[in-house]
A and B are shown apart, each in its own frame.
Chain A
Amino acid sequence: MTSIGTGYDLSVSTYSPDGRVFQVEYAQKAVDNSGTALGLRVKDGVVLAVEKIKHSRLLVPHANRRIMTAGKHIGVATAGWISDTRHLVKRVRDEARDYRSTYKVDIPAKIIAERTGMYAQAYTLYSAVRPFGVSTIIGTVDADGPQLYMIEPSGQYVGYRGCAAGKGKQVAKTEIEKLNLDQMTAREAIKEAARIIYAAHDDSKDKLFELELSWICAESNGLHTHVPQNLFDEAIQHAERSLNDDEDDDEMEGDDE
């Protein structure tokens, strides 16, 4: 642990002399230590992918989902503390339900991003609470088309065409920048998302992991669903093949069910 913030890092309601709020930065560290999560906004939909690091071989496959759904049409993928994630997603669901109850339409992406961001920000105001140790990636398709937002522990939220958070975010971001997202279809994006998660996965750190892949697009009828099994299997094959072809990487084949 560095001693950079000594004295000014005990409470989120304290600034440091150089204008930093250390508790928020520490929360970001919690995110950086977790499995990678990424989102891709493409021509006809949004794809979310998560590197779900498994801490034990005893865990049941497909259990303990990291990608969650809110209001049927919103996908939420997170990097960071899963317990904080559950709390945040509950809030996202409540906001979506409340909006629909008032306006009889599905909550638009911009508004749910704002509500989530403002909620996270509220936890950076009081010393009685701590910021969420989660970076939340929200994907949905609304009247303005497919949209992707990421909300950080500080409450800052930005719209993206592609974003990543967690351990392998540097590798993931580099790979995402190479993609032509505006021309890509959701079906293609699934394969790329899988490939990037596999590429960002560091086997020396955590051997066991499971890929989670979800999408919102015309094929899913505008609903947020886990990618159908056949497409999922294809994506994994594509990812594993890309890893093997890559001679610069010394990563071994990713383990999966």
Chain B
Amino acid sequence: QGLDDMDPIEFRLPHTIQRPAVAPSHGPKAHTTRPIVTGTSVVAFKYKDGIIMAADCLASYGSLARYRNEKRLMAVGETTLLGVSGDMSDFQHMQHTLESLLTQEYDMDDGQTLGTKSVYKCISNIMYNRRTKGDPLWNSYVIAGVDNGQKMLGYVDLYGTTYQSTSIATGYGGHLAQPILRRLVEGREDEVTEEEAVQILDECMRVLFYRDARSLSKIRRAKVTAQGVEISEPYTLETNWDFAESITGYGS
């Protein structure tokens, strides 16, 4: 289909964006310019037994809610929990890289396993090096684990920015969920029980579903404790849209 006679809207859709068929061998390097299939917020915080984390099951294709049973939470070895938002193919690349890394560590046969701090540093190195090349992996990672009894919760993004905190949320979660977490969890991380943590987490994810236009109410939750990583089956949040009736013009 020629560029000139294409419908102007279709022209802009992800699958019809024009790219050179083959990268010229002597031309400029093609760099990542935009994410294609994306996941939205990841929310995580420290609680009494470890760290709890949640992400919805959606991988969007622009504004299309395309893949509705995606896993955006992953276990790395026995000790570390990884949550990701951003480009899903870049996440898959990271998954393969980490799997290969874990296999190499297994082959070493020295009785040691990769701890959370090490996984965190590996991911940050990869992310920062990619950004320096101008070809980032378009993701935000939330890395959690219990290392030697110490709870660790960290963040790495496509720029290579890293930080650790009691509560972390990526994307819209940073705007909508983080204030909730700061109010309810910060300073109390050793008191919050699992039951309370689940309630707080569900409430954050609910708010995100109400307000983030690229989110889904079907979510997965995971926790990492000294005993290891546990990722739940998907479940759907209950929502109440009754308020819509009180707003003129909202809904039908």
Interface residues of B in 99-124 (CB under 8 A from A): 100, 103-104, 106-107, 109
Task: Report the Cα distance A190→B170, complex, angstroms.
Answer: 51
A interface majority secondary structure: mixed
A193 → chain B closest CB, angstroms: 19
Stretch at the interface among A42-50, A69-77, A156-164, A232-240: A69-77
Contacts of B107 in A (CB 8 A): 68-72, 93
Contacts of B103 in A (CB 8 A): 71-72, 97, 100
Contacts of B96 in A (CB 8 A): 101
Residue-by-residue, is B175-219 near A (CB-CB < 8 Å gives 1, otherwise 0)?
A: 000000000000000000000000000000000000000000000
B interface majority secondary structure: helix
- What band does the interface of chain A fall in when counting residues whose beta carbon is under 8 Å from B? 10 to 19
Q: List B residues at the A interface (Cβ < 8 Å).
A: 96, 100, 103-104, 106-107, 109
A63 → chain B closest CB, angstroms: 10
Most buried by A among B100, B106, B107: B107
Contacts of B106 in A (CB 8 A): 69, 72, 223
A207 adjacent to chain B (CB < 8 Å): no
A241 adjacent to chain B (CB < 8 Å): no
Interchain Cβ contacts within 8 Å, total number: 23
A65 adjacent to chain B (CB < 8 Å): yes
Q: Say whether A69 contacts B109, CB under 8 Å.
A: yes
Interface residues of A in 211-245 (CB under 8 A from B): 223, 226
Interface residues of A in 44-90 (CB under 8 A from B): 65, 68-72
Q: List A residues at the B interface (Cβ < 8 Å).
A: 65, 68-72, 93, 97, 100-101, 223, 226
Task: Report the Cα distance A97→B106, complex, angstroms.
Answer: 13
Q: Say whether A68 contacts B109, CB under 8 Å.
A: yes
B74 → chain A closest CB, angstroms: 16
A56 → chain B closest CB, angstroms: 21
Task: Report the Cα distance A69→B107, complex, angstroms.
Answer: 5
Task: Report the Cα distance A71→B103, complex, angstroms.
Answer: 6
A127 → chain B closest CB, angstroms: 33
**15 sample A-B contacts, Cβ–Cβ < 8 Å, listed by A number:** A65-B109, A68-B109, A69-B107, A69-B109, A70-B107, A71-B103, A72-B103, A72-B106, A72-B107, A93-B104, A93-B107, A97-B104, A100-B100, A101-B96, A101-B100
Contacts of A223 in B (CB 8 A): 106
Q: Say whether A97 contacts B109, CB under 8 Å.
A: no
Contacts of B109 in A (CB 8 A): 65, 68-69, 226
Q: Which residue of A lies closest to B103 (CB)?
A: A72
Task: Report the Cα distance A68→B104, complex, angstroms.
Answer: 12
Task: Report the Cα distance A256→B231, complex, angstroms.
Answer: 44
A65 → chain B closest CB, angstroms: 6
10 other A-B residue contacts (CB within 8 Å) besides A69-B107, A223-B106: A70-B107, A71-B107, A72-B106, A72-B107, A93-B104, A97-B100, A97-B103, A97-B104, A100-B103, A226-B109
A213 → chain B closest CB, angstroms: 14
